Copies of this chain bind each other. A is one copy, B any other.
């Protein structure tokens, strides 16, 4: 496993030396290969589906590939190919002293380990993001998708023509080994349910990008437009109940009658829980908790005590209340008069989404290619040494440019 990780790092190092045009062309080849070799890919996928008779319908739908899914995937990879070069971008530039120029430039993180459940379409998508961002990549897919993943991995590797930039691992034992390699792997991205994310967070020292829970709140303030509140609450809960950005708890100010909100939810098939045993619960289904609070401050305290720091929204016509909520809620996403469902990389306009992070370190909230980058500080001088500055013979200018 260490050799695999080292190979991915070396391939990543070689990758970031490639020109923008080289990497763009590799991604175009990958998009085309997914279309050209779709028969082969769908045949592999059929083997997985045949072996997965007892899979729940939702999981089966995720495992299943189709020509339409491959078309969408190819489109997505073409748009990653066409997007701006993320590497080598100047984040800061400062003249430290005459002739001594400092720049801070974006760089790849190094080697990513992406662990995903039975959704084989994640494989080429993440491979494309890694190539775009110049990172080496190790992938571990669900065992239900073994045939699909092997086929897609071959298609990706052959189409990219970039060497072992994408490594595929298949067993849980291999993952356990990889999670111990914090000296050669730089970031783990688990894409899957709470249990997967939590397991990984608890079993590695490598930084983990993502979130275990999405316990999102909508707070209906005293000055809310009730019709708007119903619209937002329904969208936040029912648009996609199992999504991480769906509402799990509705907080209602005591001056607002909660019944119209509860009735609207009930009519939409939502089970409303007025006294849950645990306020930190991700229902992930057509169900939610409701609590009446005495004030905006109590709503914020509830969110800080029971939330997951993902996404919260206030519905209010009171601008001052909105400002207080937006400035005091310590979550990745804080909204005013908008559904929590907008917390999403695509909707935020970030292009391809890597995931949503509730970490306070590195990327936070919906994460695009930016979250796969770090920076390096480059300094160009003419034989400069610190001695003359220490002795007062030269002075720092620190001119921003």
A residues sitting closer than 8 Å to B (CB atoms) are 13, 16-17, 88, 94, 96, 100, 102, 104, 107, 109-110, 186-187, 201-202, 205, 207, 225, 228, 231-232, 234-236, 239, 304, 315, 322, 326-328, 330-339, 341-343, 347-349, 359-362, 364-366, 374-387, 389-390, 396, 398
Complex CA gap A239/B16 in Å reads 34
Inter-chain contact A347/B383, CB cutoff 8 Å: no
Complex CA gap A88/B236 in Å reads 27
Can you pick out 30 interface pairs between chain A and chain B where the beta carbons lie within 8 Å of each other? Answer: A13-B304, A88-B327, A94-B349, A96-B347, A100-B338, A100-B342, A104-B365, A107-B330, A186-B360, A205-B205, A228-B382, A232-B385, A236-B385, A239-B386, A326-B380, A334-B379, A335-B378, A335-B380, A337-B383, A338-B379, A339-B384, A342-B379, A342-B386, A347-B389, A348-B377, A349-B396, A362-B362, A364-B377, A365-B376, A366-B377
- List of 6 A-B pairs having minimum Cβ-Cβ separation, nearest first: A338-B381, A235-B385, A349-B398, A228-B383, A341-B386, A335-B379
How many copies, total?
A: 2
Nearest CB of chain B from residue A362's CB, rounded to whole Å: 5
Nearest CB of chain B from residue A280's CB, rounded to whole Å: 11
Interface of A is mostly: mixed
Q: Counting chain B CB atoms within 10 Å of each CB, which of A234, A333, A347 scores highest?
A: A347
Nearest CB of chain B from residue A98's CB, rounded to whole Å: 13
Partner of A328, one of B13, B333, B360, B375: B13
Complex CA gap A20/B102 in Å reads 30
- Residue on B nearest A207 in the bound complex, by CB: B361
Partner of A336, one of B13, B304, B380: B380
Inter-chain contact B396/A235, CB cutoff 8 Å: no
Inter-chain contact B375/A110, CB cutoff 8 Å: no
